[in-house]
Structure 1
Amino acid sequence: MQAIGKLGWLVLWFNDFVLEVKGHSIAVPQRASKKEVFVNRDERETSEKRCHALRSSLLELHRVLIELERRHYEKRHGKHSAGEFLQVVAFSDEMRWLEPLSRLIVMLDEALEQGADSSMTPSVVTSRVRDLLGLDRTKSDVFSVHYIQHFDKSPELAAAHTEVLKLLKSNGS
């Protein structure tokens, strides 16, 4: 018997059968070659790397947007401490437009949790990111309107946006 594992995911090799253990559940045994077991592990590792890279680039984009919103908010409402502004971001309707981007980051976080299956997450998030950051000026959803307004005025946002798109392209998506 041979054990191969990574981040709470355990694959047991026994008599040409593979048992996959995730958390407390065990998948139905299936016939597989050693090569398939290693390929599946490599695919998971690649998927995790893609999730980490995409998460990092989206966090940077989110950080830039928060800074732009903070400047805009403080022009209208005066200076706020970091804690006060965090409360605004978390609970103000003015900041709800950022939720679609925040949800994508949360999806990646959940996929990267120990034992989670992240194999489909990068492709799902990639598709949603492309749609969200498409810069389609005919869209009238709240995110697109705010995002394009900031994009037109901020070289820093344009740079972060470009980095996300480069990453998507390098991942073949």
Structure 2
Amino acid sequence: MPAQNQARAQLDDLSRALLRLHKALLDGERQTYERLHGRIPSNGQFLQLVLGDGWFAWLRPLSQLMVRLGELAEEEEASTGEEIAALLATLRTLLTPSEEGDGFGRHYYDALQREPDVVLAHAAVRTLLRSPSLNKEPVRHYRS
């Protein structure tokens, strides 16, 4: 498999792994939210909470990075290696749990302590982020 195709396949794998991680985080946050505030009656109401309630705000940076990764994959023109490398670096930084503070890193650390599904999804994403073909310079990503 040519390097470009391998990098594209790994970006697709990364997108899927991030979706699994995001879902595990959302599921865990929903359970915690419902324990404190009562059952969320519908998926539509849950979506509204995810989009607008402060409880779920910490997840928005990950959501935004996932959207950007999807946009890069869908662009008709080639995405530069620099764009992809910057996005991957941002993902690596964001997905670093921290016992300190109150931002994403702290919430992420807490989720990793509570949710086995988050631990498994996190491991899969980190493995893909360390992939040599995603870390070569320069990488050109083309829509096939």
Q: Which of 60, 69, 76 does residue 29 from structure 2 map onto? A: 69
Q: Which of 101, 110, 117 does residue 149 from structure 1 map onto? A: 110
**CA displacement at 1:104 relative to structure 2:** 1.1
> Which residue does 1:161 correspond to in 2?
122
> Which residue does 1:122 correspond to in 2?
84
Q: Which of 41, 51, 58 does residue 18 from structure 2 map onto? A: 58
Identify, as 1 or 2, the structure richer in strand: 1
1:100 corresponds to which letter in structure 2? P
Provide closer, same or farther for how the CA distance between residues 93 and 136 of structure 1 changes in structure 2, counting only shifts above 3 A. Answer: closer
Which structure 1 residue ranges, 5 or more long, are not aligned? Answer: 1-41
> Which residue does 2:93 correspond to in 1?
131
Distance (whole Å) between structure 1 residues aligned to residue 49 and residue 78 of structure 2 = 34
State the structure with more CA Rg.
1
Runs (4+) of structure 1 moved beyond 4 Å?
A: none
> Which residue does 2:59 correspond to in 1?
98
Distance (whole Å) between structure 2 residues aligned to residue 109 and residue 158 of structure 1 = 23
Give TM-score scaled by structure 2 length: 0.80
> Percent identity between the aligned chains?
33
Distance (whole Å) between structure 1 residues aligned to residue 98 and residue 104 of structure 2 = 11
Distance (whole Å) between structure 2 residues aligned to residue 77 and residue 154 of structure 1 = 19
Show CA shifts across 1:52-75 (max 9, x none): 111111111000000001101111
CA contact (8 A) 1:51 1:111 kept: no
Provide closer, same or farther for how the CA distance between residues 46 and 82 of structure 1 changes in structure 2, counting only shifts above 3 A. Answer: same
Identify, as 1 or 2, the structure richer in helix: 2
Show CA shifts across 1:77-125 (max 9, x none): 2111111111100111221111111111011111011404234243222
CA RMSD of aligned residues (A): 1.9
Which structure 2 residue ranges, 5 or more long, are not aligned? Answer: 136-144
